[in-house]
């Protein structure tokens, strides 16, 4: 689904993203970990088509994510660290508005259905989202990704500031989109969430993908050791 090949980005002499190679298949979750300045955001910005790679490519289902970025954006969903919604609209109204902008024809019933699937309760459906927590706003964004049948969902620091219960709810909701066959790429500092959620974990340092680990049978202490080894080397 997502194929990143020999991706490079320089800021002057700073090799911010250094020959990155990885794939995320349909129905797979990859978490990218790394210290501040490791190159995660620059990578994300190249996948979003905001930054032109100096060389290499990111391909989403056959489309180049920089040169065919408009077509790619129709097939993916970006969920930033803080999801911004129209505070005086309800969740249904927010999604209806986003759907209209995306020229999608959807009924209120379909919108309600995806919101319920992400854990928004019947009571919350009619509330203005201005009072929603970060976790609830994320659920609304994920509901839109479901409605859109996004092939790829990109998330930046989704669990920062979430309490443990909200984090667990977030993990459950992301598993819902995974089950639908969506490829998910999450940039995070949260080792516990990465361990609980991902199929693969990539550890970046100084622009390079130092490790790409299959999460199966990896314990949290193992992951922590892998992570810290990158900085003691």
Ligand X SMILES: Nc1ncnc2c1ncn2[C@@H]1O[C@H](COP(=O)(O)OP(=O)(O)OP(=O)(O)O)[C@@H](O)[C@H]1O
Among 41, 159, 182, 230, binds ligand X (CB under 6 A): 41
| 124 is a site residue for ligand X (CB under 6 A) | no
| 21 is a site residue for ligand X (CB under 6 A) | no
Dig out the tokens for 78 from the structure.
């970006």
Q: How far is the CB of 169 from ligand X (least distance, A)?
A: 24
Q: How far is the CB of 174 from ligand X (least distance, A)?
A: 20
Using the CB atoms, write b or e for 121-147: b if 16+ within 10 Å: eeebeeeebeebebbbbbbbbbbbbbb
Please give the C-alpha separations between residue 13 and each of 3, 18, 42, 193, 206, in angstroms, as whole numbers: 26, 12, 15, 34, 13
| 188 is a site residue for ligand X (CB under 6 A) | no
Interface stretch with ligand X, choices 40-48, 72-80, 143-151, 162-170 (CB under 6 A): 40-48
143: Cβ contacts below 8 Å, ≥ 6 apart: 91, 95, 111, 114, 115, 117, 118, 120
Among 1, 39, 129, 134, binds ligand X (CB under 6 A): 39
Among 6, 10, 14, 133, binds ligand X (CB under 6 A): 14
d(CA 17, CA 46): 10
Residue of closest CB approach to ligand X: 41
Q: How far is the CB of 187 from ligand X (least distance, A)?
A: 7
| 86 is a site residue for ligand X (CB under 6 A) | no
| 37 is a site residue for ligand X (CB under 6 A) | yes
Using CB under 6 A as the binding criterion, the count of chain residues that bind ligand X stands at 11
| 178 is a site residue for ligand X (CB under 6 A) | no
Q: How far is the CB of 42 from ligand X (least distance, A)?
A: 3
């Amino acid at each position: 689904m997502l194929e990143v090949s020999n991706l490079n980005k320089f800021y002057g002499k700073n090799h911010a993203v250094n020959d990155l190679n990885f794939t995320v298949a349909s129905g797979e979750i990859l978490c990218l970990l790394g210290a501040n300045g490791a190159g995660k955001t620059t990578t994300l910005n190249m996948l979003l088509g905001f930054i032109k790679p100096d060389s290499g490519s990111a391909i989403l289902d056959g489309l180049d994510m920089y040169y065919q970025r408009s077509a790619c954006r129709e097939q993916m969903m970006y969920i930033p660290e803080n999801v911004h919604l129209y505070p005086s609209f309800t969740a249904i109204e927010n999604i209806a508005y986003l759907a209209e902008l995306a020229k999608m024809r959807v009924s209120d019933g379909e919108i309600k259905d995806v919101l319920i699937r992400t854990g928004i309760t019947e009571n919350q459906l009619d509330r203005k989202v201005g009072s929603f927590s970060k976790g609830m706003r994320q659920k609304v964004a994920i509901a839109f990704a479901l409605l859109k049948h996004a092939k790829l969902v990109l998330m930046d620091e989704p669990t920062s500031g979430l309490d443990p219960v909200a984090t667990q709810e977030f993990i459950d909701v992301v598993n819902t989109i995974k089950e639908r066959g969506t490829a998910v790429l999450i940039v995070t500092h949260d080792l516990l969430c990465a361990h609980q959620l991902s199929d693969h974990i990539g550890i970046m340092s100084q622009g390079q993908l130092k490790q790409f680990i299959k999460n199966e049978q990896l314990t949290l202490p193992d992951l922590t050791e892998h992570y810290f080894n990158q900085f003691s080397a």
